[in-house]
Amino acid sequence: MDQDEFLFCIGGHAVKIDETNKVVGEMAYPPSGNKDVINTVSRRCMNPMIDPTTVFRKQDFLDLGKYTLEKSIYTVPDFDLWCKAILDGKKFDNLQEPVIKYRQNSTGMTSLHKQEMIKAHMIVWRRFMGKFLMKEKIDASKAI
């Protein structure tokens, strides 16, 4: 973060572990570079960050309105924040190496509220795409 004053958020990969700390795989999907982060959201409808790996600038977080308190999307506050930040022109990156151990927990939020999280994710993504496509259209008209 100190090397790039314009970087809003950086994350990384994760090693997946089970409830007994046994390594069961790696979460190696986060894209590298801001352009790939944006494409991961806009074209693949995916969260571009492994949320617990991330660090971001506090002032930008405050300027973006912090995490949402909206009940319909309370299960995906990070994805909502990333989408708002992309629309605001914030820059992202991911280290292409594991930076945490990510425990798969049968009683965790993802396991217990999976369907609710999918629904909330789609609400956030549809809102994002509406604004993203409008922004691209405006930017394209300015280039003419």
Q: What is the pLDDT along the chain (144 residues), one digit of tens a residue?
A: 889 999 999 999 999 999 899 999 998 789 999 999 999 999 999 999 999 999 999 999 999 999 999 999 999 999 999 999 999 999 999 999 999 999 988 888 788 889 999 999 999 999 999 999 988 777 777 766
CATH of span 7-135: 3.90.550.10
pTM for this prediction: 0.91
Query: What pLDDT digit, counting tens, does each position of 108-134 carry?
Result: 878 888 999 999 999 999 999 999 998
CB 94 within 8 A of CB 32: yes
Rounded CA separation 12/71 (Å) = 28
User: How far is the CA of 135 from the CAs of 13, 51, 103, 132, in angstroms?
Assistant: 30, 26, 38, 5
Domain range annotation of the chain: 7-135
